[in-house]
Amino acid sequence: MAVRVRLLGPVDIVADGIPVRLNGVRRKALLAGLALSAGWVVENRRLIDLVWRESPPPETANALQRHISFLRKALGSRDALVARSPGYLLNLGAEPTDVHIVERLLREAAATPDPRQRLDRLRSATTLWSGPPLNELRELPWFDEQARQLDDLLLRARLELLDVRLALGEGARVVTELESLARVHPWHEEIAGLLMRALYGIGRQADALSAFQRLRRALNEELGIDPGPRLHDLETAILRHDPSLSEPTSAPSPSLDVVEATPAWRVPAQLPLAVHGFTGRDADLAMLDGYAAQSGVVAIAGTAGVGKTALAVQWAHRVARDFPDGQLYVNLRG
């Protein structure tokens, strides 16, 4: 029986395509906490903190065990929730949650050179959201932060989808959606860049330049910074009517010889989710940009809790497209 936990909307379980009824915020919090750490053992004390926070019941261990027993029945197997010191591990195979499916589809989209195939995978990824992720748990601080990261994952998938559609000549269709996203995310440079390209592509050069100026004002007034060099380069290209902005992207025609001569290769894309609300590290990010241009290896050092990982992950997402051979991530577990 194929069983999966859904997190991209209301938290529930799907067994062979059929939703399994799951009541109770505490049970859903326990399931979501295990699912967000699928493949890793979650300590009992961590689970208790996630489920009950500051008000655990008098017999916490017994209450936790009752919830575990209920979830095992809902998942259809005792082996789906494995007791392993010092806690429990969710064991539902390679893709235990809908989040894992999205991440796999994004990796496959990044690895294929065919824009039509990328389009199909990205559309499949975005349809997996059924509402705000972790919908019933967002009042709990830890789950709210996880939900924000899943919101960012959806935005990433939507932007990659819009980018492919734009490359395939759907500029007139994506402008409205990009304008809506730009209103919600007035400081987001990637959204602004896609909107500028889409507007220019349908003959609205002045509107494309206005989109750049709006972003520039928003960044300057709220954060005291200017758009990055890529946006400035795009503005210059639009002003000059750079021919590269009008080059169509077409799907390659499949050839038997090409298929046989090309080895299968999956580009690794292992970066953790970007940090929500990251700010205040412009100088450090610029320094990392400089080191990357020198093709060096960079180590970020500092005392515990100063934000080394957050900085590294944020910069890695910022420049991921400059590393088409892939991105690797190794968790050294402290």
Q: Could you tell me the pTM of the whole model?
A: 0.71
Contact (Cβ atoms closer than 8 angstroms) between residue 193 and residue 234: yes
As given in the structure block, the two tokens for residue 10 are 């209301």
Mean pLDDT of the chain: 85
- Taking Cα atoms as reference points, which of 60, 64, 30 lies closest to residue 142? 30
pLDDT-based confidence at residue 264 (cuts at 50, 70, 90): very low
As given in the structure block, the two tokens for residue 76 are 């259809």
* 24: alpha, beta or left? (left if phi > 0; alpha if psi -120 to 50): left
Q: Per residue in 16-34, pLDDT tens? A: 889 998 899 999 999 999 9
Q: Rounded distance, CA 234 to CA 212, Å?
A: 9
Q: Which domains does the chain have, with CATH numbers?
A: 3-90 (1.10.10.10), 171-247 (1.25.40.10), 274-334 (no CATH)
- Taking Cα atoms as reference points, which of 133, 129, 187 lies closest to residue 158? 129
pLDDT-based confidence at residue 312 (cuts at 50, 70, 90): confident
List the end-to-end C-alpha distance of the chain, in Å, as a whole number: 36
pLDDT score at 296: 63
The more confident residue out of 190 and 324 is: 190
Res 252 pLDDT > 70: no
Q: Give CA separation, 29 vs 101, 132, 137, 211, in Å.
A: 21, 15, 7, 42
What interhelical angle do 141-167 and 98-111 show, nearest 10? 30
Instruction: Verify cis geometry, omega within 30 degrees of 0, for the bond prior to 86.
Output: yes
pLDDT score at 255: 36
Contact (Cβ atoms closer than 8 angstroms) between residue 301 and residue 241: no
- Taking Cα atoms as reference points, which of 206, 182, 185 lies closest to residue 194? 182
Q: Rounded distance, CA 143 to CA 47, Å?
A: 12
pLDDT-based confidence at residue 321 (cuts at 50, 70, 90): low
pLDDT-based confidence at residue 244 (cuts at 50, 70, 90): confident
